[in-house]
Structure 1
Amino acid sequence: MKTPFILIPALLFLLTISNLALSQDSIRMTTNNGTESKELRSIIDFEGIYMKTLNFGDAALNEKYYEVTLQEYKNGQFVKSTVLFDGAESDFFKINGNSLSLRFLVKLADGQLKVALYGPNFTSAKKYFKLSSRTDDYVLKDFFGSPEQTIRLSPTESNPVLAIITPSVHKDGSASYCEVVQTGVKPEDFGKHFHIPHYFLISIRFKS
């Protein structure tokens, strides 16, 4: 039985409305990578420092607070979650408007992960975490396929936005970092799927 032609525009209309509703119920995230200065980038790379700016935009952000946490995983198992910043502690940190930019600084040195968050008119306390593998094996990665890509986030759930990982090692001895963060595998399953012994996730959650 053929589908009546009159149903096709109706189905397309419903699909369009559905996609529009989905976009309205999510928050846009884009990124800026590090610094434009080649000299400064060289120093940052040498010192094991990573800079990442994440930009969030949507009308739903207005009057919201946000919480940034770090989750640690070992041998495929969740270890603990640590609050890096909780804006609900004061109305000073409430988002006034439809946009927010946060800059993350991550340093990997001397067997430690050091994290700090820079937001509008504030700097978070520095937090330290012990590394289990060689320091040089860890890198900071985002989930963007390209710098121009836009990622949609849940306005109510916790969203992984950055990962500090070691690479996925193949049978031939080669290794890949991009394979880990750009395959569609859930971040909390990286350890099990890619056999990564130790990694961290940085997540953000918006709340009223």
Structure 2
Amino acid sequence: MKNLMVLAVTFIGFSMLNAQNSDIKLYTKYGSDHKELHDLMRFQDVETIKLTFTGNDLKGKHYRLLVKEYTNGSLAKIDTIIDSGQHDYVSVINDTIFEFKYHVKTQINNTIKMNFKFDRFSSPRLYNIRASEDKYALHDFLKSSDPMPVELNAKTLIMGYFLPYIDKVSGWKKYCDVSGSEYKPEEWGTVFDIPNYYLIEIIFE
């Protein structure tokens, strides 16, 4: 009986480990390779990033992409951009590479325009924001130039679009101090007194 219990615990642990781990990696690339287009996008305050996921574990998987809005330190809204398992026109991932482009812009009418551009379709969004003189900034969650590991069946934060932390001593507006901090992104509003920001999350399952 003791041996059976040890075997069962080992099997459960092994199964949990396999369920949590995967070979999926995320690579990101900002901007455009075309200089004139890149300059025009900067003039228009459009930020863009290409997200490329690679790994054998992608094949046969569905994906969900979510935008979470935080206001005054609390989760205010969750918007499902795409749930591939719920649409006939979106098939499972059939390759070891999955990628899409993300464009975002803060507009003069106090809205944020986002667009998620996939291979055969796109999903645009408009969000109302608080009036603010500060610019929002787009940052991914890669800690360095190395790719980000992505688990299966788990929520993975991949990007943030947020207002800066304002240093009360120097008065400087700091973005990297936020995205590169030790605090969880869900805590940014409270820790850094950021009134409004957005987190983009993906799940492969």
**TM-score in terms of structure 2 length:** 0.83
1:40 is matched with which residue? Answer: 37
Please state how far the C-alpha of 1:39 moved relative to its aligned partner: 2.1
Please state how far the C-alpha of 1:58 moved relative to its aligned partner: 1.6
Give runs of aligned pairs for residues 183-194 of structure 1, distance below 5 A.
183-194=181-192
C-alpha distance in 2 between matches for 1:138 and 1:185:
19
**Offset from partner CA, 1:183-202 (integer Å, 9 cap, x none):** 23211111112111110111
1:179 is matched with which residue? Answer: 177
Contact 1:108 1:135 survives alignment (8 Å): no
Unmatched segments (≥5 aa) in structure 2: 1-16
1:93 is matched with which residue? Answer: 91
C-alpha distance in 2 between matches for 1:131 and 1:59:
39
C-alpha distance in 1 between matches for 2:61 and 2:136:
33
Choose from 15, 27, 30 the match for 2:27. 30
Give runs of aligned pairs for residues 59-78 of structure 1, distance below 5 A.
59-78=56-75
1:117 is matched with which residue? Answer: 116
Please state how far the C-alpha of 1:82 moved relative to its aligned partner: 0.4
Partner-residue secondary structure (3-state), 2:41: helix
Find runs of 4+ consecutive structure 1 residues off by over 2 angstroms. Answer: 20-27, 90-93, 133-136
Choose from 142, 167, 170 the match for 1:144. 142
Please state how far the C-alpha of 1:120 moved relative to its aligned partner: 2.2
**Quick one: structure 1 residues 175 and 186, their matched pair in 2 at CA, closer, same or farther if it must change by over 3 Å?**
same
> How many matched pairs?
186
**Quick one: structure 1 residues 92 and 74, their matched pair in 2 at CA, closer, same or farther if it must change by over 3 Å?**
closer
Q: Which one-letter code corresponds to 1:166 in the other structure?
A: L
**Offset from partner CA, 1:26-67 (integer Å, 9 cap, x none):** 521111111022322221112121111111112111111111
C-alpha distance in 1 between matches for 2:84 and 2:18:
28
**Quick one: structure 1 residues 26 and 198, their matched pair in 2 at CA, closer, same or farther if it must change by over 3 Å?**
farther
Of 177-186 and 73-82, deviating more is: 177-186
Choose from 159, 164, 169 the match for 1:167. 164
Please state how far the C-alpha of 1:145 moved relative to its aligned partner: 4.0
2:104 is matched with which residue? Answer: 106
**TM-score in terms of structure 1 length:** 0.82
Please state how far the C-alpha of 1:101 moved relative to its aligned partner: 0.8
1:3 is matched with which residue? Answer: none
Please state how far the C-alpha of 1:112 moved relative to its aligned partner: 0.8
C-alpha distance in 2 between matches for 1:170 and 1:136:
13
C-alpha distance in 1 between matches for 2:34 and 2:157:
28
Please state how far the C-alpha of 1:98 moved relative to its aligned partner: 1.6
Partner-residue secondary structure (3-state), 1:149: coil
**Quick one: structure 1 residues 57 and 95, their matched pair in 2 at CA, closer, same or farther if it must change by over 3 Å?**
same
RMSD over aligned CA atoms reads 2.1
Unmatched segments (≥5 aa) in structure 1: 1-19
